[in-house]
Amino acid sequence: MKAHISLTLGVLFLFMLQACGGGSSGNARAEAASVASEPATDDAQTTDITGAILVERSADCADYANSYSSHVVDVNRSMGFNGAFEIEASADTCTISSNNIPNHDFNDGSQSFANSVAEVSKSLIVVRNPTTMTTVTQLSQQNNDAVLLNGVVVDLLSAGCWDASSSSNTPAGCSADQADWLIDPVGSDGFFREDSHNAHAQPDGSYHYHANPNALFDENPGPDGSPVIGFAADGFPIYGSFFLDSETGQVRKAISGYTIKPGMRPSGPGEDYDGFYVQDWEFTDSGDLDACNGMAIDEQYGYYVTDTYPWILGCFSGSPHFSFGK
């Protein structure tokens, strides 16, 4: 049976607590307990969101203003971590501060992360009333793309590519602006050692998502669709995968407008287009979402998590805030 926690924060911010720790075992938790630091004591103003599933759909970050904590495990390293993040609202913006530790267990893949997760302080500013621009802004390796409502950033682009000089794929050192064949972390089927949350760590220890976090929302959406699970750098909300289709009256998953190109790559690695590289995809407007992976419902624009590329964001429809720079 799932427990519910409700908070009055302008609107109800509800959580359904369930085990969504990425497949960690009881043994891993028991082992981690011996090396974990002592959990911080939560005061009356701090909400423990360990394993939380969100249900609220408010597009205003101020409605989530509060302090949050979590107690999770790095599975492959058998280490415990305490997550902490806070949302503070002003008239025009929200400041999201965190130590970038998720609210779920992590590093549970068959191979441990190449870099170890560490607490890394983040302070990001989300604009409360964003507007769409006449031209989109492309994603950049110099910026984080979004922050989720567990305090963890989204960083979609890899630095890996096809290296013509060695006729092989390299995991680092490639510029997204110059690489002809930039590796897509999710499409590359484990090349970057992601865990079950489509995430891993940067060299500085920053845990970050490349696609669906497989947390914060589930396959049982409410009558209007999935909840808001975070905010993009331009201030627009990020929803889970489900929305209410006004044409059918049914709640279903949003479909990306990108498709894999037909045929064979004309250069570089050759072989058939299969999604391993970002350039394997093209926007054909074949789904529900625009090129940035967003759409407006009831005059509210937002991005949606999709089962295929670009996974969360393809670009920014608004203007990204400078605080998301790395």
Residues 145 and 139 sit within 8 Å (Cβ to Cβ): yes
Tokens of 172: 């680092």
Query: From CA 311, how far away is CA 210, in angstroms rounded?
Result: 8
3-state secondary structure of 265: coil
Residue-wise pLDDT tens digits, 156-192: 999 999 999 999 999 999 999 999 999 999 999 889 9
Give the per-residue pLDDT at 189. Answer: 86
- Position 27 confidence tier, pLDDT thresholds 50, 70, 90: very low
What residue numbers bound the domain in which 31 lies?
Answer: 3-324
pTM beyond 0.85, yes or no: yes
Residues 314, 312: Cα–Cα separation, whole Å: 7
> How many angstroms separate the CA atoms of 72 and 107, rounded?
11
Mean pLDDT for all residues in the chain: 89
> Would the pLDDT of 312 be above 50?
yes
Q: Can you tell me whether residue 255 is helix, strand or coil? A: coil
Confidence of residue 45 (pLDDT cuts 50, 70, 90): confident
Quick check: helix, strand or coil at residue 294?
A: strand
pLDDT at 284: 98
The radius of gyration computed from the CA coordinates of the chain, to the nearest angstrom, equals 19
Which pLDDT tens digit goes with each residue over 110-152?
A: 999 999 999 999 999 999 999 999 999 999 999 999 999 999 9
* Strand pairing category for 66-74 and 161-163: unpaired
Looking from the CA of 93 toward its CB, the CA atoms found within 13 Å total 14
Q: What is the pLDDT of residue 31?
A: 39
- pLDDT, tens only, 199-246: 999 999 999 999 999 999 999 999 999 999 999 999 999 999 999 999
CA distances for 76 relative to 20, 34, 81, 309, 317, angstroms:
16, 15, 13, 28, 38
CB atoms within 10 A of CB 283: 19
**Mind listing the pLDDT tens digit for each residue in 234-291?**
999 999 999 999 999 999 999 999 999 999 999 999 999 999 999 999 999 999 999 9
Confidence of residue 24 (pLDDT cuts 50, 70, 90): very low
Q: How many domains does the chain have?
A: 1
User: Contact, 68 vs 99, CB < 8 A?
Assistant: no
CA 207 – CA 98 distance, rounded (Å) = 12
What does the pLDDT average to over 292-297? Answer: 98
